[in-house]
Amino acid sequence: MYRDLVSRLSYIVPPESQLSCFRMSSCREEFSLDALRLRYHDSSVFSRSPWFLGQVGFVVYRALVAALTLAILVYLPVDHYRVLGRSDPWPIALTNWSFTVLTAHMVVALVVCVVEFVSRKGVRPTTVANKSENTGDTDTVQTDPMTEIGHGEDSDVETIQDNCGLAWYHKVHWILHNTSITAAFFVTTLYWTLDSGTVLVSSILEHVVNSIIALLDLLVSGTPVTILNVIYPVAYAAVYAVFYVNYWAAGGKGRDGSTAIYPVIDFGKDPGMASGILVGFVFVAVPAFHFLSYGLYRLRELVVTKIKRRTSPVTTLSSELETTNSRDVHSQVA
């Protein structure tokens, strides 16, 4: 019995050298070309959450958030034109671009979650058979697929050898995830520091609720964030910057007939200052908010790792081992 427990513990707990190698591998992955090519060792993290015991609850969460963002996206243009009576085009604002991207992310995330749920519905939990050498008895340990998701630094070493290829919808989901969350944090901060003005219902929806949804999704979902993923929100911001300049050059008007969409970026008054602000936003501010997203992601992984350590089968087996060892000592003394 004692030897059997030791062998089971050795199977579940990888040697320290393997864990160290895994941590080094995780660090290398942050700056590897796989991050740019949208490759990841476990595709299931894009459709599951480390906080839900089953996938059904996460599908319900995805459906509710997607429905909420869609409802808000329908309301915003109506509020812009009919309620507020504004004449400037609704699609020209970065805020509206960003909420549209956030909604697209939530819808795509729901689709990915449903597709994975349907495709895996008939898959049974995996089993590990441990056969005793002396008795021939077989102990079957059933594992929940949810516990096999590679979250945290101490995820199973075997996940390193998983297939790194992702389906196209995983990649779209990953790009939208990184872009929408970074953009949400950016536009919220930009609005409340530079352009708050009168607080309206639409202002709360686009500059408070948006970041709450983004933060919730970042912490609840299993989708990873890598440092090199910064290229996607930067590319998104660069596209908007190009649009902003072209819109001004074409004679486009902002709110109340002004020559700028945002007063702080007015090429008609000070082209040099406006250019400098745009460049700073694209190449300094946006990366900073992406690194904030990355930091929150690492915090999530750290918490998940701590919880897994406390609730993993290793704890139970260790207690069983200590009890067995204590009994052996008492029997020898007796």
CA geometry: angle 34, 239, 175, nearest 5 deg = 30
Predicted confidence band of residue 220 (pLDDT cuts 50, 70, 90): very high
Instruction: For the chain, give every domain's residue range.
Output: 2-22+43-198+206-319
Asked whether the beta carbons of 69 and 106 are under 8 A apart, the reply is yes
Among 78-87, 157-166, 179-188, the minimum mean pLDDT is found in 157-166
Local structure of residue 142 (DSSP, 8 states)? E
Cα gap 278→28, rounded to integer Å: 32
Local structure of residue 80 (DSSP, 8 states)? I
Asked whether the beta carbons of 164 and 39 are under 8 A apart, the reply is yes
pLDDT given at position 283? 98
CA dihedral in degrees (98, 104, 107, 110; nearest 10)? -80
Predicted confidence band of residue 195 (pLDDT cuts 50, 70, 90): confident
Summarize pLDDT for 268-293 with one digit per residue, the tens: 999 999 999 999 999 999 999 999 99
Q: Mapping DSSP to helix (H, G, I), strand (E, B) and coil, where does residue 206 land?
A: helix
Number of residues assigned to the chain: 334
Cα gap 169→101, rounded to integer Å: 15
Q: Which residue from 75, 65, 64, 66 is spatially nearest to 204, judged by alpha carbons?
A: 75
Predicted confidence band of residue 165 (pLDDT cuts 50, 70, 90): confident
Of residues 105 and 55, more confidence is placed in 105
Structure tokens at 43: 């595709």
pLDDT given at position 26? 58
Instruction: Tell me whether residue 296 is exposed, middle or buried, using C-beta atoms within 10 angstroms of its C-beta: 0 to 12, 13 to 18, 19 or more.
Output: middle
pLDDT given at position 311? 80
Of residues 117 and 148, more confidence is placed in 117
Average pLDDT estimate for 219-243 = 97
What H or E segment, with its residue span, contains residue 66? Answer: helix 55-78
Summarize pLDDT for 296-326 with one digit per residue, the tens: 999 999 999 999 888 865 544 444 445 455 4
pLDDT given at position 121? 73
pLDDT given at position 198? 79
- pLDDT over 50 (residue 222): yes
Cα gap 152→222, rounded to integer Å: 10
pLDDT given at position 36? 73
Summarize pLDDT for 42-100 with one digit per residue, the tens: 999 999 999 998 889 999 999 999 999 999 999 999 999 999 999 999 999 999 999 99
Of residues 11 and 245, more confidence is placed in 245
- pLDDT over 50 (residue 125): no
Cα gap 321→317, rounded to integer Å: 6
Of 25-34, 53-62, 137-146, 312-321, give the range with the top mean pLDDT: 53-62
Task: Quote the pTM value.
Answer: 0.77
